[in-house]
Copies of this chain bind each other. A is one copy, B any other.
Amino acid sequence: MAGDGTDQRALQYEQTLMYGRYTQELGVYAKEEAARLRESGQRRSVSERSRTFDLLEYDKGRCAKCRICTVRCQKFLISRVGEDWIFLILLGLLMALVSWVVDFCIAICLQAQKWMYGGLDSNVFLQYLAWVTYPVVLITFSAGFTQILAPQAVGSGIPEMKTILRGVVLKEYLTFKTFVAKVIGLTCALGSGMPLGKEGPFVHIASLCAALLSKFMSLFGGIYENESRNIEMLAAACAVGVGCCFAAPIGGVLFSIEVTSTFFAVRNYWRGFFAATFSAFIFRVLAVWNRDEETITALFKTRFRLDFPFDLQELPAFAVIGIASGFGGALFVYLNRLIVQFIRNQKAINRFLMKKRLLYPALVTLLISTLTFPPGFGQFMAGKLTQKESLVTLLDNRTWAKQGIAEEFDYIGHSQAWQHPQVNVFVTLVIFIVMKFWMSALATTIPVPCGAFMPVFVIGAAFGRLVGESMAAWFPDGINTDGTIYPIVPGGYAVVGAAALSGAVTHTVSTAVIVFELTGQISHILPVMIAVILANAVAQSLQPSLYDSIIRIKKLPYLPELGWGHHEKYNIRVEDIMVRDVRYITLNCCYRDLHNVLLTGHLKTLALVESAASMILLGSIERAQLQSLLSLQLGRPRRLEFIRERATAEKKRLSVVSNSDAEDDHRRASQEVRFQISTEESSFSPTRPVPQKPLKPALKRPSVVERPIDIPIGSQDHSSNSSLKNLFCASPDAELMEKNNNVESPVSPDSRRQSKRVRISVVEPPPSLRGFFGDDDVVEDDMTIREIAEWEEMQLDEQVNFNNCKIDPAPFQLVERTSLHKTHTIFSLLGLDHAYVTSIGRLIGVVSLKELRKAIEGSVTVKGVKVRPPLASFRDSGTSSSENEATELHNLWDREKRMSLPGEHTPPESDEKSQ
């Protein structure tokens, strides 16, 4: 029965991997797991003292000296330079190394393919086999490896980082496994020569690196545990990711800001620049040390002339590139989404691919590599060039087609690939653009770690080159009529095209800066800027950015941007969009209310109000906290205590047990306990989240939290009712219990042994409960199902004691008249998931991301025409509203006066909520 629910989830999980779908449920699951982990961390700190003894025994001699030394070193370092520097430098260094190693491996892979293909030139069929098999194997390996190790490593990672920086906890995306899967998967994927990019995954890898480094550094001190600091570090890491990928520190910072942030704290700017510069520096220095370069220069250095980079009259051509790129970019995003949706919606294909899940990558790779096979169709599209080589040739500063004749071509190096005896260079370029366009859109749907930036960049460069070559053919002596002949530089057009198309796809302006840093020349700044801006203007009005599109496809929680110029949004207020039916708990509620409230609703925190009558908001409590409160109340330990008490009462009546016997019992029990803990220590160590097996991790994860109905009825408890509640409330104990059951024999009739296990899995009951366990813990659980049900009903009627519950006393509050604009600003800045709406201290509603999203998307259609919310029309005139306010206030005052009279304590609006 347990397998059923888990299997279903695992299937969903696999679907996610396949096409990158992200179900809401999975998100909830991830969040709750994260909450659980956090809680167990807290629990551990409470029980720290009691466990030091065991730890000392356990750790003795292992690395105590070494640790002391490290701590001293680290203290010294912190006092000397400040911890942020160290972190950023380490991050930059690490990422530069990773980037360089990945590049190195990719180069080796590509060389190997070339070597194989070159060596078999006697037989075309063998050559084809070699050409095709190699990428298929690599991609299949990459897809398989990623899926097995960490399915969340699939794709670019920028959408996920955007979501994480918005404040949504996606813990599974920042684990070490993901790091390994992403790096190895990416290397293989790019080594295959498919039109895939390195940039997006590098943003994710850098963030992973930062998260892991942060975790590692926190071993040396508690400074790295602040959450808002971590977010800032992640923002810097994104900059590092782009920076070390392209050796473009400035462009990296700007691109990462544009792509991942809505609001940017200028104080973080510095961090990003620092780390990205250091990283780019090391990345390029490694190339120099490896003798690839003589000195530090740009990655794709161009050599355009400086005196007269372009004529003023060429600007219309650049503008045309910009506008066309805008349409092209929108088309690319649309095509990409179309492919994903097509495959997902065709049930037959879907079912087939789901079974053979490595088939899809293999098929796609086979198709693409067949088409690029150099002796085949590839000869018309420079198929034998790698992505990097294509880019280098496209940015070449010589003209390929003077006067339209291909013969005058300078055949040096890779540029030869563009030449075809029968076919014009223009045709080659057009075929290249068209083929690469759909190939890239298709390739980026393969479930491997990959980005789309670089392929798009190359396509853009080819398009620019095409326009440039045409211009050069039309004006062989340049446009300038002042005497001096300045021939047209098609390479400059390629630069402009690359920036424009990649800008259009990602909706960023900073691709311009990346282009300058990549080419090492900034002379084309104005054409590039003009083209990028035009491309953005066109693309933004047609389609969302590629990353936003993926966010929507994957159903990640997101918040759409407020369109600029949509000033009418300022007229929608929170009261128009808020949910008025808020789930809340009152200060004097009983456990039954808690139970009922937890059964409904979806927000991760619940409001705590003073009373249903006053509705004054006191704070918010996390759902997990309440669940553990409830499970503590209904849990086995408390029931055992109850039994013990009952027994004690009986004992008092009988008075037959001797004192010395009890003491003996005690000593024996405590020894056993210690032994038990030391063997099973790892299962409640908070640094290891869940017991994970290398294969199909989703299957192994306990998944009881989500569906209280599907849960198997545990065998260690006689009462179905009690166990249901226990499991639903999903405290770590309950889950651990279930896990233990899975591993060992399902039925263990020895109640004595079982009671010990339970005690261990609970790890640490609250101090008030702890005392008696040592005294005599050999209570037999002899209650019948009926008794347990009765006992639970009794427990549920008790008033909740919030003493051990962590209450957030400052949940974010809005007032009902807060404008949509302000709300959006606050939500995006503070990364809120929801905010309570209060009116003069009373809770009257809640706004979550969902409502906000609906309000923004619902009120503005694609064309910018606004649909007014039904309530907004009432308040266009300023005077009447202010009069209304005063009237309302006076009504309130009257009400208050009335209310303060005794015996009148039921305001109408809270009736239906106080269950």
Contact = CB atoms under 8 A, between A and B. Distances in A.
A261 interface: yes
A412 interface: no
Nearest to A280: B526
Contact of A610 (B249, B840, B882): B840
Interface in A518-554: 520-523, 525-526, 529-530, 533, 536
A516 B515 CA distance: 13
Nearest to A877: B45
Contact of A297 (B229, B274, B309, B801): B309
A562 interface: yes
Contact of A522 (B226, B521, B806, B841): B521
B258 A269 contact: yes
Contact of A617 (B805, B840, B879): B840
Interface string A841-873: 110000000000000000000001000000000
B517 A522 contact: yes
A175 interface: no
Given A266-B262, A294-B482, A829-B825, A617 B841 contact: yes
A809 interface: yes
Contacts of A887: 803
A270 interface: yes
Contacts of A298: 522-523, 525
A176 interface: no
B803 A567 contact: no
A901 B900 contact: no
A806 B263 contact: no
A12 interface: no
Nearest to A482: B294
B250 A889 contact: no
A749 interface: no
Interface in A214-246: 223, 226, 228-229
A356 B823 CA distance: 54
Interface stretch (A29-37, A340-348, A701-709, A810-818): A810-818
B806 A250 contact: no
B509 A882 contact: no
Contacts of A842: 841
Contact of A821 (B228, B261, B525, B530): B228
A269 B509 contact: yes
A20 B264 CA distance: 32
A69 interface: no
A277 B618 contact: no
Contacts of A229: 567
A564 interface: yes
Contacts of A804: 882-883
Interface stretch (A281-289, A434-442, A692-700, A768-776): A281-289
A409 to B, nearest CB: 24
Contacts of A674: none
A566 to B, nearest CB: 10
Nearest to A527: B296
Contacts of A814: 810
A505 interface: no
Nearest to A253: B509
B805 A886 contact: yes
Contacts of A717: none
Nearest to A829: B829
Interface stretch (A124-132, A720-728, A730-738, A890-898): A890-898
A332 interface: no
Contacts of A521: 306, 521-523
Given A517-B522, A841-B842, 4 more contacts: A254-B254, A264-B264, A587-B889, A610-B892
29 contacts: A46-B879, A223-B567, A226-B570, A254-B254, A263-B263, A267-B561, A267-B562, A270-B509, A270-B536, A271-B564, A280-B526, A281-B529, A285-B312, A295-B311, A297-B306, A298-B522, A301-B306, A517-B525, A587-B889, A587-B892, A614-B896, A802-B890, A803-B886, A807-B882, A809-B816, A809-B817, A838-B841, A900-B900, A900-B905
Give 3 closest A-B pairs by Cβ, nearest first. A841-B841, A810-B815, A277-B529
